[in-house]
Structure 1
Amino acid sequence: MEIITIIFLLSLPVLGCVIYKQARKGVATPVKTLEYVFILGFTLSFLLFCCGLMIYAADYYTAIDIVDGGYSPFASKHLLSLITFFVLAVFGLWKLWLKGRAMPPLWFVLMLVFVLTGIPISIAVFVQISHSTESYDGWLFGFLPFAYILTAVAVICKCVVEELAVANDKVYRNKVLNYLNQKMAKTAHQPFYVLILLIPVFVVIVALLILFGQEADSMSKVFTETTTWRFSTKTHPPFLDHQGHYLCTVAVCGDPKVVKPLRLGIRHGHEIIVNRQLLIANAFEELIQENLPAAHRAIRACYDKYGYPLSKKITSQQGSNLVYRLMKPLEYFFLLCLYLCVTKPEEKIAGQYVL
Structure 2
Amino acid sequence: MITFFVFSLFGFVCGLMMSGAEYYTAIDIVDDGYTAFASKHILTLLVFFGFSIWAIIAIWLKINQLPPLLFVLALVFLIIGMVISFVVILQLSGGVGGKGVEIIMIPLPVCYLLISILLLLKITCNQAEVSATRTYQNKFLNYINTKMAESNLQPIYVLVLLIPVFALIVAILMVFGQDYNSITKVFTETATWNFSQKTHPPALEHRGHYLCTVAVCGDAKVVTPLRLGKRYGQEIVVNRQLLIANAFEELIQESAPGLHKIIRNAYDKYGYPLSKKITTPESSNLVYRLMKPLEYLFLVVLYLFVVKPEEKINKQYAI
Global fold match (TM > 0.5): yes
The aligned counterpart of 1:104 is 67
1:311 aligns with 2:275: yes
Q: Residues 144, 352 of structure 1: CA spacing in aligned structure 2 closer, same or farther, 3 A cutoff?
A: farther
The aligned counterpart of 1:46 is 9
Alignment counterpart, residue 113 of structure 1, candidates 61, 76, 92? 76
Aligned partner of residue 112 in structure 2, secondary structure? helix
The aligned counterpart of 2:105 is 141
Shift of 1:114: 1.4
Structure 2 counterpart of 1:328, which letter? Answer: K
Answer yes or no: is the 8 Å Cα contact 1:59–1:75 preserved in 2. yes
Alignment counterpart, residue 188 of structure 2, candidates 217, 224, 230? 224
Shift of 1:349: 4.0
1:202 aligns with 2:162: yes
Shift of 1:339: 5.0
Shift of 1:338: 4.0
Q: Residues 234, 102 of structure 1: CA spacing in aligned structure 2 closer, same or farther, 3 A cutoff?
A: same
Q: Residues 265, 150 of structure 1: CA spacing in aligned structure 2 closer, same or farther, 3 A cutoff?
A: farther
Shift of 1:297: 2.5
Q: Residues 268, 97 of structure 1: CA spacing in aligned structure 2 closer, same or farther, 3 A cutoff?
A: farther
Answer yes or no: is the 8 Å Cα contact 2:34–2:97 preserved in 1. no
Structure 1 counterpart of 2:83, which letter? Answer: P
The aligned counterpart of 2:147 is none
Shift of 1:113: 1.1
The 1-side partners of 2:226 and 2:98 are apart by 27
The 2-side partners of 1:208 and 1:255 are apart by 43
The 1-side partners of 2:235 and 2:104 are apart by 25
Shift of 1:90: 1.1
CA deviation map 1:20-41 (0-9, x unaligned): xxxxxxxxxxxxxxxxxx2244
Alignment counterpart, residue 43 of structure 2, candidates 70, 80, 84? 80
Shift of 1:350: 4.6
Q: Residues 201, 274 of structure 1: CA spacing in aligned structure 2 closer, same or farther, 3 A cutoff?
A: same
The 2-side partners of 1:64 and 1:156 are apart by 44
Aligned partner of residue 218 in structure 2, secondary structure? coil
Alignment counterpart, residue 90 of structure 2, candidates 89, 114, 127? 127
The aligned counterpart of 1:27 is none
Root-mean-square deviation over aligned CA pairs: 3.4
Structure 2 counterpart of 1:84, which letter? Answer: V
The 2-side partners of 1:135 and 1:288 are apart by 38
1:297 aligns with 2:257: no
Q: Residues 52, 271 of structure 1: CA spacing in aligned structure 2 closer, same or farther, 3 A cutoff?
A: farther
CA deviation map 1:264-314 (0-9, x unaligned): 344455443222321232232233234323212221233234433443444
Alignment counterpart, residue 245 of structure 1, candidates 199, 206, 209? 209
Aligned ranges for residues 151-230 of structure 1 at < 5 Å? Answer: 151-160=115-124, 162=126, 194=155, 198-212=158-172, 214=174, 215=178, 216-230=180-194
The 2-side partners of 1:347 and 1:224 are apart by 44
CA deviation map 1:152-205 (0-9, x unaligned): 111112114756999xxxxxxxxxxxxxx89x69xxxxxxx94x7523211111
The 2-side partners of 1:135 and 1:109 are apart by 37
Q: How many residues align?
A: 296
Answer yes or no: is the 8 Å Cα contact 2:97–2:191 preserved in 1. no
Aligned partner of residue 195 in structure 2, secondary structure? coil
Of stretches 321-330 and 247-256 in structure 1, the one that deviates more from structure 2 is: 321-330
Instruction: Report percent identity of matched pairs.
Output: 54
Alignment counterpart, residue 52 of structure 2, candidates 74, 77, 89? 89
For structure 1, the residue ranges without an aligned partner over 5 or more in a row are 1-37, 167-180, 186-192
CA deviation map 1:71-118 (0-9, x unaligned): 221122322222121121111111111222442211111111111111
